[in-house]
Amino acid sequence: MNLYLTADVVGKPDHGAGSVTHNEAKALAELGPCEVWDRSFIERQGVERNNEPWGWDNQASCSRDFFVNPPKLVHFYAGTFSRTVDVLRRNGCKVSYTAAAHDVAASRKAHEELGVPYNYSHLTDPKLWERYVRGYLEADLLICPSRHSAEVMRGFGAKNKIVVIPHGVEIPGEDKLRPLPKTFTVGYLGNCSAPDKGLRYLLEAWGKLNYPDAVLKIAGHDSCSPYVQGLVQRFGGGNVHLAGWQSDLAEFYGSLSLYVQPSVTEGFGIEVLEAMAHGRAVLCSSGAGAADCMQTQVDVFPACSTDKLAEAIDSCRRSGIWLVRAGEQNRERVKEFSWDKVRERYKQAWKELLP
C-alpha cells in the first residue's frame, strides 16, 4: 500500500494545486493500491485549525497505521509535514516530496517593497524554519517542478536526490481555440495579491508603453480587490481591465494576443502552460519555474525588470505575424507537458526509489 498525503484539497476545481495533486495521486495509484489523505480527510480526524501550519502535520503523524501497517511509499505535496516524515522514515517507509520552492529572500523583499507584511513565521523564525524545512531535507526524494525550485532547495541545504519534473496541463481540443483578437490584448491570470507574483512590474511596463489602443487584462479571484485597484493607481497606466474570476479558460486565453507571467519568484506558474495549450504567445519571467518550458530564451525576460518587459511586449506587438506563429509553436511544444506524459515521469522516479 502507498499513500498520497497533502494539506491541499486533491482535485480542487480551477486551482493549480488541485490539478497537480489530482494528477500526482493518480500517478501513484497507477503503481498499485494507494490511499489519499488530503486536507478534508485529515481535518475529519480532528485537526486543530488554530494550530496552522502545523495542525495537519500533528494530526497525520499520530496515525496508528504508520506504526502497525506502514505504507511502502508516501508522497507529500507541499505543506509542513516534518514530524510525519520523521515518523514514517523511522518505520521503514520511503518518502518523496514535491517541493515547488521559491526564493524566500526575493519573496520577502517583494513584500517589503510594497509595504506588505511578511507574516509567515515559519519562514522568518529560525526555530520554526528548521521544523518547516526538515521534512523536505529528510525525504528520500525531492521532486521539483523546475530548475529554479531545485536550486532553491539546494540553497536550503537539500543533499537528498532531486528530480526535476514539470507540472503538466490538460490540452484543450481544437474547438476551444480562438483567433487572435483585433485589439492587442495582454493578459495575466492568477494570484494578484501576492507581491512575489510580480504584477507591479507588469503594470509598470504597461504604463511605460501607454498604448492608446491596447488593453491589459488582469484576471483572478482577487483581481478586482481594493488592493489590486491600489496597485493599478500606484503603478499602472494605459488601458487596464480588471476582469475578475474566470470560469472559462478557453474564453479568457482566447481573448488575449499575448500572455505574461511576471513572477519575482515562483516554483512554476501553470498558467504559462495553459496559455501555450490555448495557442497563445507567452512571455515568462526568469523568476518563474515555467521558464524551463519556453520555446526559446527570447520568450524569457529578467525578473523585476520593467524596462526589459516593456521592450519584450512592444517587440511582440510590432511583430504581429510572430504572435500567430509563436502561438502555433507553443501549442505544439506544450504536448511534451501533457499530464499523461508527466505522470509517467513521476512513476519512473518512484520506481527507481522503491526496492
Predicted pLDDT at 193 = 94
Q: Which three cell numbers stand for residue 244?
A: 475578475
Which helix (H) or strand (E) element contains residue 229? helix 226-235
Q: Are strands 161-164 and 184-189 parallel, antiparallel or unpaired?
A: unpaired
Q: Which three cell numbers stand for residue 314?
A: 512592444
Question: Structure pTM?
Answer: 0.94
Proportion of the chain in helix, strand, coil states, percent, rounded to 5: 50, 15, 35
CB 258, CB 283: distance < 8 Å: yes
Q: Which three cell numbers stand for residue 104?
A: 524566500
pLDDT digits (tens, 9 = 90+) for 250-272: 999 999 999 999 999 999 999 99
Gap between the Cα atoms of 26 and 199, Å rounded:
33
Residue-range domains of the chain with CATH: 2-168+338-353 (3.40.50.2000), 174-336 (3.40.50.2000)
The one-digit pLDDT tens for each residue of the chain (355 residues) are 999 999 999 988 878 888 999 999 999 999 999 999 998 888 887 655 545 678 888 888 888 778 778 899 999 998 889 999 999 999 999 999 999 999 999 999 999 999 999 998 889 999 999 999 999 999 999 999 999 999 999 999 999 999 999 999 999 999 999 999 999 999 999 999 999 999 999 999 999 999 999 999 999 999 999 999 999 999 999 999 999 999 999 999 999 999 999 999 999 999 999 999 999 999 999 999 999 999 776 799 999 999 999 999 999 999 878 899 999 999 999 999 999 999 999 999 999 998 7
Q: In sequence order, which residues have a C-beta less than 8 Å from that of residue 202 and are 6 or more positions away?
A: 186, 188, 216, 260, 262, 309
Predicted pLDDT at 56 = 86
Q: Shortest CA distance to 166 belongs to which of 334, 353, 354?
A: 334
Predicted pLDDT at 350 = 97
92: left (phi > 0), else alpha (psi -120 to 50), else beta? left
Find the Cα–Cα–Cα–Cα dihedral 308, 311, 313, 316, rounded to 10°: -130
Q: Shortest CA distance to 98 belongs to which of 85, 88, 83?
A: 85
**Strands of 214-219's sheet in order across:** 240-244, 214-219, 184-189, 258-261, 281-285, 300-301
Predicted pLDDT at 343 = 98
Predicted pLDDT at 51 = 57
Predicted pLDDT at 137 = 96
Beta bridge partners of 288: 266
User: Taking all residues of the chain, what is their mean pLDDT, rounded to a whole number?
Assistant: 93
